[in-house]
Chains A and B, each alone.
Chain A
């Protein structure tokens, strides 16, 4: 008898007991269950929730691997910079090295493991208490979370934040599919407001910088947004920003890989291209407005907003978490708008508000997660008015016909 059948028999034997949902979760994770649909007509489709989630995870893998190399690269680059050594950058020679990968493995894999272990444990506990099947919703969240935190985030903080995010952000509303806010961003927001010293500044983005602060070996790595906010010219070239050889949260630095992931998500019809495109349009629009303000001399160089306002609008699209947020966060099918017209409005406002928060509030050097959470709350309202607008239009048409 194969393992699959053994598991199936065990499942039948323990049907209805308390731990059955936990067992079933493992069973369906490994094999397709034997159950078939019963009663009524069904549409057969291969893309169930689990497959959808897995495709998103696949699209995130390049970002994760890049993040691992980048963690090491930023660490060694910061050490060299502190010693005053300038090294010539080459992708094979100084980026894709075993030393860099090793730092990534010892720093980033634990983040991934903790995120999944804690989050899935919460899901299992709730499934057992409520007596329903374990939901797959956490699979993507668990991968997103390590990618949007700084590399030096202490593991216990991540664990606390994951418990908070999954319980308050998702389970209290009834679990996967019922949540108002994106759970991964709820976790990020919790970390940001609870432990701001670990989420901003010029130390947290580079491995070991926090430990070395105040010693002779001190190193630092300011993010580009951080430099702009202090009216400093960032030291990185535009290509660095596009390919992601810059300090930042683990997986969000490489706009290039994120766009590849976006292409994959759009091709598989998992991610909504309307939201992705409109988010970029919204961000560009706000960036252009700020550029006009800066170019026309409405604000001067003495203004504390000058650095971020005068940054070219296209640069805003590559720095910070905008691309990551647009592609992986805003497109979350549960929390985004459902109607096509609504998606355009929703995405546009995310981009627009992101850049606005980014520029006007130096205390929040990144506005993307706040903007997306804000629009998550408004998504049902947008849908409501889109649907009502359509109803009105059709009623008018009906009147014109009958009159």
Chain B
């Protein structure tokens, strides 16, 4: 890539595969369980986290030399909280229904371990451009898992994708419902999100044996 050096490009690509925040670092699980019953909510959540993490990393990185280390957590919290409130208000203004579905989970982005983790681990020690790339990369890695989980949960649980009835109408018995198919209600319950994330972790680790932990 011309735009990015090889080292910078790795910041974006690594969180996708071998250093994924959800499946490898096992962070941000709560939101992956709570809001993935619909694909739309997963996508909006991903975009919100992308915004907060990308911008937050830049802000923290710019301030990294003037933050007293004793109160850095509080400073980080203020930065995240500010950004999250912006996201929350934008959602309430332009997508009220969706913000109701996401309810408290937008606010809970503040406590998303991925964000604090990247601030601590990366933005405090790197320049703004690299911090931005790292933030975007991690948010995309998070988004990838959220969207995969959301895709399967909505498709198998409600028979829809982004609200479109891709499998036919369950009440009028069209499409696959005509031959006796039924939606899997278990998919809409949180335990199934955990199981889907577990299956992703399983597949990933059996493809790349280096990821399997010694114990």
Contact = CB atoms under 8 A, between A and B. Distances in A.
Same assembly: yes
Interface in A345-378: none
Interface stretch (B65-73, B141-149, B160-168, B185-193): B185-193
B180 interface: yes
Interface string A156-175: 11001000000010001000
B202 A196 contact: no
A196 B182 CA distance: 11
B103 interface: no
A154 B186 CA distance: 17
A194 interface: yes
Given A168-B195, A172-B202, A194 B187 contact: yes
B195 A195 contact: no
Contacts of B202: 172
A276 B202 CA distance: 37
Contact of A154 (B180, B187, B198): B180
A193 interface: yes
Contacts of A168: 195, 198
A190 interface: yes
A194 B180 contact: no
Interface residues of A, number: 13
B161 to A, nearest CB: 19
B203 to A, nearest CB: 11
Contacts of B184: 160, 194-195
A160 B180 CA distance: 14
Interface string A132-157: 00000000000000000000001011
Contacts of B181: 156
A190 B182 contact: no
Interface residues of B, number: 11
A156 B181 CA distance: 9
A194 B195 contact: no
Contact of B185 (A154, A160, A196): A196
Given A168-B195, A172-B202, A157 B182 contact: yes
Residue with the greatest number of chain B CB neighbours at <10 A, chosen from A154, A193, A194, A197? A194
A127 B184 CA distance: 28
Contacts of A172: 198, 202
Interface in A23-62: none
A193 B189 contact: yes
A207 B202 CA distance: 40
Nearest to A160: B184
Contacts of A190: 186
A195 B185 contact: yes
B153 to A, nearest CB: 12
Contacts of B182: 157, 195, 197-198
Nearest to B189: A193
Contacts of B186: 190, 193-194
Nearest to A157: B182
Contacts of A157: 182
Contacts of A194: 184-187
Contacts of B189: 193
A196 B183 CA distance: 10
Nearest to A194: B186
A195 B185 CA distance: 6
Given A168-B195, A172-B198, 16 more contacts: A154-B180, A156-B181, A157-B182, A160-B184, A168-B198, A190-B186, A193-B185, A193-B186, A193-B189, A194-B186, A194-B187, A195-B182, A195-B184, A195-B185, A197-B182, A198-B182
23 contacts: A154-B180, A156-B180, A156-B181, A157-B182, A160-B184, A168-B195, A168-B198, A172-B198, A172-B202, A190-B186, A193-B185, A193-B186, A193-B189, A194-B184, A194-B185, A194-B186, A194-B187, A195-B182, A195-B184, A195-B185, A196-B185, A197-B182, A198-B182
Which 9 pairs, one residue from A and one from B, show the smallest C-beta to C-beta distance?
Answer: A194-B186, A193-B186, A194-B184, A194-B185, A195-B182, A196-B185, A168-B195, A154-B180, A190-B186
